[in-house]
A and B are shown apart, each in its own frame.
Chain A
Amino acid sequence: MADEQRGVSEPAKPALWRRPAVRSLFFQLLLIAGIGFFGYTIFQNTLHNMQQRGISTGFGFLNSEAGFGILMTLIPFDETYTYGRTFLVGLLNTLLVASLGIIFATIIGFIMGVSRLSRNWIISRLATVYIEVFRNIPLLLQIMFWYFAVLRPLPGPRQSMIFNDTLFLNNRGLYMPSPIYEQGFWLVVVALLVAIVAAVLVARWAHKRQEATGQPFHTVYAAIGLVLGLPLLTFLMMGSPLSWDMPVLQRFNMGGGMVVIPELAALLVALSIYTGTFIAEAVRSGILAVSHGQTEAAHALGLRPGPTLRLVIIPQALRVIIPQLTSQYLNLTKNSSLATAIGYPDLVAVFAGTTLNQTGQAVEVIAMTMAVYLAISLSISLFMNWYNKRIQLVER
């Protein structure tokens, strides 16, 4: 490059269209214009064709009344709400199953990943069997297994399995008492918030003191004590402002209380167990990536096994684990759309299913659904990248 530039700068400057920089810019612009034109043509073409065939277009349908019911809704919904609301209901159901799935899969994955490296022969073999079995069976089959083979044969509502007179398990779901908050309960919530803030402050103070004097402090115990103790104390002082709405058998179903529908349970179990295997492998590879010399050095410094793992091994292992974890979280979120196979009312089943069919506006509905999954996935990877950067090795 440098030679060329010197070579061409001696004689008179070449014409504009002969300069490499100008030419490459020109062709890149041309390419962008071409792609833009292509996209525009497809868009216009679709619109034109749909108009020609008498298919209605636009997003006006979102404001019209839906007229159908949905099995499980986290926000108030009945058939008088709009199609736009069905979008929200589906989205929230998707987010629910995805976020719960991510939590459970991470817990299962970390436990199994560490277990596989255990020195205990039985534990490590059990973890290996779990990983190899569930990682290698297609997810859809696992979902169907949990739904059709495990949850469906449960007894009907009249023959529910009852645990402790509060939990009722039948083929319509797991019914639990739901809390009813009475007057004064808000103080308990305030106490909880205060306790969390206090715990953070204690942690900061302990960290500072350790930096200054080398004196460690039992931050974890103090935090647990605060977060559990303070709200509990307030709760008792206010005279237990909480009662329970118990599920009761009505003519057809159980009424009252809360219910975990079998569709949600099957999907959640399958997603957590399946993704857990991949996370376990990520954890194992992360731990193995930290050289054994680190452990030995920590031991030589007098650190006990607990702090060694917590302060030396895990921070370094996380650097390897996090990027893999990110892609597993993305997979889990996207895989949650398999819900439609068992009738769990997620975004795909409700919005890209029933709403699409009732309105017939496939292009709009599918575009919205794809945009949502893209947005969720990008948010997850944005957050994970931020976290990854934060825990990168900071060299002093």
Chain B
Amino acid sequence: MKKIHVIASAVALTAVMSSNAFAGATLDGVKKKGFVQCGVSTGLPGFSSADEKGNWSGLDVDVCRAVAAAVFGDAGKVKYTPLTAKERFTALQSGEIDMLSRNTTWTLTRDSSLGLNFAGVNYYDGQGFMVTKTLGVKSALELDGASFCIQAGTTTELNLADYFRANDMSYTPVTFDSSDETVKAFDAGRCDALTSDQSQLYALRIKLGNPDGAVVLPEVISKEPLGPVTAQGDDEWYKIVRWSLFAMLNAEELGINSGNVDELMSSADPNIRRLLGKEGIKGSGLGLPDSWATDIIKQVGNYAEAFERNVGMGSALKIARGQNALWNKGGLQYAPPIR
């Protein structure tokens, strides 16, 4: 009977323990581990892709690095988990990763029913189409009856269906698990057009056998605000991710970059002094060291630096800032003030 008692209490204990597991702070777990486990794509140039040495880079990767810089003062303390679109939410829900930064569209369904919180928007995107030049198509409205290569489990699948239904046209979806497979299938002629977020189309075009043979159509058929995501139920961690992104945006707005941050440490501008942890609430509100934003700017750079380096003119993608310019320069990027 004693044995049975032990087993019963052990069962009861696991029940209690596992129900508590989620309530604990992610920050403590991250500090204990010594790194941030970040979910990224399986390879999307400009946003998250690994080079031949296994070093990850990209606009989404920079958000992970910014969080690591804020927590540890070292942007290198990140471990990456490459995830397909189908795997990403389960990985976050199950606690396998601490945050997801994987060109993920913020939608009501995802925000309200998946147990997730979107921490902001690091790239404003919209869905577009890419076709081969030989097809002679000038507009998406000419694509009636065409087949499309799509990545499974994305908003792309839904937008495409909506667009064709609204315009009373027919289409054939050919879905694959990773964006890599979709671009290979498109290259081999399995489908007439590749559809995805426009930024991705430019990124994937680099992977084609003959990038100049393909053209991105002018239509943008949806709103795709892409941003980092955390699991619901840990507000502290959610705010750290959220404000790491805001710090990069605010740094750009205040003209602070990785090059001049050391000089500006002695600046008299109170806005700059607050961001760099010289006055105001500093890091205590987030439970971080006072130098959290300074570390982000030093090691990752401000938003403009990250953008240009990964997807802008300093990269192979050559995407213009467009909607992703700061609010005071005609774009949509706007971060709440640090005060």
Other A-B contacts than A53-B232, A55-B113, A353-B86, 6 sampled, CB-CB below 8 A, are A69-B157, A71-B174, A152-B190, A251-B146, A253-B192, A345-B175
Q: Once bound together, how far apart are the Cα atoms of A381 and B185, in whole Å?
A: 38
Per-residue contact bits, chain B 1-22, to A (CB 8 Å; 1 contact, 0 not): 0001001100110110011001
23 contacts between A and B (CB under 8 A): A38-B11, A41-B11, A50-B115, A52-B22, A52-B233, A54-B112, A56-B112, A67-B161, A67-B162, A69-B171, A71-B172, A71-B173, A79-B162, A152-B190, A153-B188, A156-B189, A345-B175, A353-B177, A358-B109, A360-B89, A360-B113, A360-B115, A362-B93
Q: Is B231 an interface residue (CB 8 A)?
A: yes
Q: Once bound together, how far apart are the Cα atoms of A240 and B36, in whole Å?
A: 72
Q: Once bound together, how far apart are the Cα atoms of A45 and B12, in whole Å?
A: 11
Q: Are A360 and B4 in contact (CB under 8 A)?
A: no
Contacting residues, chain A, for B270 (C-beta < 8 A): none
**Chain B: interface residue count, which band?**
35 or more
Q: Are B160 and A250 in contact (CB under 8 A)?
A: no
**Chain A: interface residue count, which band?**
35 or more
Q: Once bound together, how far apart are the Cα atoms of A44 and B158, in whole Å?
A: 33
Which residue of chain A has the shortest Cβ distance to B4 in the bound complex? Answer: A30
Partner of B175, one of A171, A354, A362: A354
List residues of chain B with CB under 8 Å of any chain A CB. Answer: 4, 7-8, 11-12, 14-15, 18-19, 22-23, 85-86, 89-90, 93, 109-110, 112-115, 135, 143-147, 152-154, 157-158, 160-162, 165, 171-177, 181, 185, 188-190, 192, 231-233
- Sorted nearest first, the 5 A-B pairs with minimum C-beta distance are A357-B153, A55-B115, A79-B161, A53-B115, A360-B114
Q: A55-B114, A67-B158 are in contact. Are A45 and B175 (CB under 8 A)?
A: no
Q: Is A349 an interface residue (CB 8 A)?
A: yes
Q: Once bound together, how far apart are the Cα atoms of A172 and B188, in whole Å?
A: 10
Q: Once bound together, how far apart are the Cα atoms of A152 and B12, in whole Å?
A: 55
Q: Once bound together, how far apart are the Cα atoms of A119 and B321, in whole Å?
A: 75
Q: Are A255 and B145 in contact (CB under 8 A)?
A: yes
Q: Is A373 an interface residue (CB 8 A)?
A: no
Contacting residues, chain A, for B157 (C-beta < 8 A): 68-69, 354, 358
Q: A71-B174, A357-B85, A358-B153 are in contact. Are A49 and B113 (CB under 8 A)?
A: no
Q: Once bound together, how far apart are the Cα atoms of A56 and B153, in whole Å?
A: 18
Q: Are B188 and A343 in contact (CB under 8 A)?
A: no
